[in-house]
Chains A and B, each alone.
Chain A
């Protein structure tokens, strides 16, 4: 624990209030639950990362020479399932959101602290089921579980994997439910909707998707499991079942799920950019509206994953058009972040470097989305490495960058310690370089026509694959570094002041780390969000 060995006069806070395993496993403190989540998802991140490295090593040569084809298929399946359901979806909401949302709106806790703990337990139970799946031989459906492959043609642990994700899905639903009620009902006096930090807006929009989308995935995977256990025949083509029905139901959740993964990251970046430009956000109202628009429109574009799947010509056109609509609010956000730096006072601290990385990579990921939404091009590049590169630019280049930025930004608040700034900047740089080297060649591979999920490939694709694998090793180093210095800083880092960045927002007005109930007395908010005109600038860090 962070503060055990340190000098006696430390103030009482949520970390040192109680000790012992029980005080953590049965806690209802949203901040402690956030740390439980942090440990859980970090664990799964490295499991998923391990699978990714095996995939990249296999693809170093065109022949399938490192893994068996079934093993390779299991690797990309479980890489996807672990990273999406056990890392990306809980990452920002369940760790940073859990920790910060009550504080940012001036509340003592989430509305349902015990349900909050329950959702962590559900994630752990789902996680254990996933680990059981992995250890007992794995699953090779692809993370998409497409029927009838998953229902009738594989004899791996499909049921266990589906149930694992089902349970983890309920964790996500309960987190979303908790956030929605909390944001509606627990705001401090004066904390109106138009004064909410954009991080809260982003998590609110995310919560809406979690609550509306996840149950559809839950029932879909349940039906897949029932089809395997009881021979129910809802997706069985032998009985006349439509294989496209599964895809529609699956993407009805799994496309909005992309926004579950990216919206909270956008929230983080809004906080970081304003703080390190020491400036109000440009166009607050439009930024808040944009996240809600993305959440709503995100529900209307699912079939753009199915342009070559056999849907009708006109259905495809409607979904293509709607996909362009959802690109508009994303563009608005990028423009507003950029404009926020205009005439600001820009500091190059570690979180800001991650924010730069996020904006750049998200822009590229988003713009390649325009390629994919263009029907004529999608026919050529869908199910190729172009798609793989595109969504890794959003998920890893966007979301993981934002998550890392957020972890650095709020680390002083969470742990009460400062991390070593220069190591932080170095790691950000390594991650940025490694990421681009890994995934940029995949755009080219995709347009050349290399299909995804290929265990062996044509020799002409090798050079780009080698580049990609080289990038992946650099990326791995980049991700290990922060892990090391964060752990180091918990014991040896300098004590953090309450507001090390001179940032706006309620979380910086309370002690670092916060006390169990966050506020001595309920704050009364009289200021707008990002009131940087009222806050002195930070002295440039050495």
Chain B
């Protein structure tokens, strides 16, 4: 941002087919946004299905969501929000050229990400091993509407599963960025990859911000 255009044109990070550094940065950021739109459509298919069935099988959805662990879900939301904060700070630190701060903040982001996945694993363990709530022949549910509740859990595992997969990819990306940042690859002159990974990380965070109320909170309000 603060660079003079003369410096930008001689930037070693400028790829041959771009005219200016500015054009390259704009293209990269726009590419990431377009990619995130495809991600919205990807999750959107599942959200649409969730909504339709929630409307059709309201009773079963209510019962299913009683079996979510409200506290683990809430803690995970906080963990994820913290990771987004450290990610945002890391982008800022890169822009300011603070190499060590960047790496530290990225490490924290990874840590929070792993914590989220760990808690998710604990929850999955409870659902699958302890409560036999994984859909299929092993599914056990005492109560009315058991088949629709099984469908509720299908959505739970599909949606949080795909979200977790995105988290795993995100942790990998942040680790890569952290390594490159540690080598001094980024700085005020060039920080597009950090910014893009940040965008991706925030997107994955936002998906959770929708999953959390849809699976955990709605039941909490309706608990009798």
Contacts and interface: CB of A to CB of B under 8 A. Distances in A.
A514 B162 CA distance: 44
Interface stretch (B37-45, B74-82, B118-126, B198-206): B37-45
B17 A240 contact: no
B30 A234 contact: no
A111 B151 contact: no
A contact residues, range:
35 or more
Contacts of A219: 42-43, 45-46, 162
Interface stretch (A51-59, A180-188, A348-356, A441-449): A180-188
A177 B31 contact: yes
A259 to B, nearest CB: 16
Given A215-B39, A239-B147, A230 B34 contact: no
A173 B34 CA distance: 10
Contact of A177 (B18, B26, B38, B148): B38
A110 B24 CA distance: 11
A245 B51 CA distance: 11
B139 to A, nearest CB: 8
Interface string A334-377: 00000000000000000000000000000000000000000000
Contact of B57 (A180, A212, A240): A240
Interface of A, secondary structure class, is helix
A236 B49 CA distance: 13
B157 to A, nearest CB: 6
Given A107-B17, A216-B44, A240-B57, A232 B38 contact: no
B34 A232 contact: no
B136 interface: yes
Interface in B7-52: 15-19, 23, 26-27, 30-31, 34-35, 37-39, 41-46, 48-49, 52
Contacts of B16: 108, 517
A110 B134 CA distance: 45
B212 interface: no
- In the complex, which of the residues A220, A234, A249 has the most CB atoms of chain B within 10 Å of its own CB atom? A234
A288 to B, nearest CB: 20
A118 to B, nearest CB: 13
Interface in B65-100: none
Contacts of B155: 234
- In the complex, which of the residues A109, A173, A238, A241 has the most CB atoms of chain B within 10 Å of its own CB atom? A241
Interface string A97-141: 000000000011111110100000000000000000000000000
A212 B39 CA distance: 9
A181 B30 contact: yes
B56 A232 contact: no
A534 to B, nearest CB: 27
B158 interface: yes
Given A108-B17, A230-B136, A240 B34 contact: no
B38 to A, nearest CB: 5
Nearest to B52: A245
B143 interface: no
Contacts of A184: 27, 30
B154 A233 contact: yes
B135 A233 contact: yes
A213 B27 contact: no
Interface in B120-175: 134-137, 147-148, 150-151, 154-155, 157-158, 162
A67 B155 CA distance: 40
Interface in A184-198: 184-186
Given A219-B42, A219-B46, A241 B27 contact: no
Contact of A212 (B38, B135, B147): B38
A230 B26 CA distance: 42
A112 B15 CA distance: 10
A180 B52 CA distance: 32
A213 B41 contact: yes
A230 B162 CA distance: 14
Contacts of B39: 215
A226 B158 contact: yes
A215 B41 CA distance: 6
Interface in B174-220: none
B56 A242 contact: yes
B38 A211 contact: yes
A472 interface: no
Nearest to A170: B38
Contacts of B48: 249
B17 A211 contact: no
Given A238-B147, A517-B17, A215 B38 contact: yes
A422 interface: no
Interface in A221-271: 223, 226, 230-234, 236, 238-242, 245, 249, 252
A214 interface: yes
Nearest to A211: B38
Contacts of A185: 23, 26-27, 30
A212 B56 contact: no
A173 B38 contact: yes
B158 A223 contact: yes
A212 B40 CA distance: 9
Contacts of B56: 240, 242
A249 B39 CA distance: 15
Given A219-B162, A232-B135, 5 more contacts: A108-B16, A186-B17, A211-B37, A233-B135, A242-B53
Top-6 shortest CB links A-B: A231-B136, A215-B42, A109-B17, A108-B17, A215-B41, A219-B45
